[in-house]
Amino acid sequence: MKNISINVSEPVYRDFQAYARKVDRKASELIREAMEMYHAERINTQPHESVLAMAPMDLGEMRVDSVFEGDILDEMSEI
């Protein structure tokens, strides 16, 4: 584990200390846990690929022909 020094505002650190006392933990544990959560949710995620960059998928033939006039399939085929 790597030791680091960070600067946080007094009110934020006081809140961490108060909550740590309330849940019988150390403020450093809570801060470490918060950093792990941030890492998991924001940093260590796969980048979302644009729909335009995705390769088309072959889903086979239609099982049922369109029976409605002017449905969305007709609109899509005009594009």
Residue 52's pLDDT is 80
For 4-34, the DSSP string reads ------HHHHHHHHHHHHHTT--HHHHHHHH
Residue 51's pLDDT is 75
Contact 34, 15 (CB under 8 A): no
Phi and psi (nearest 5°) for 7? -110, 125
Contact 20, 32 (CB under 8 A): no
pTM beyond cutoff 0.75: no
d(CA 13, CA 7): 9
pLDDT per residue of the chain (79 residues) written in tens, 0 to 9: 889 999 999 999 999 999 999 999 999 999 999 999 999 888 887 666 777 877 888 888 777 665 656 666 666 766 5
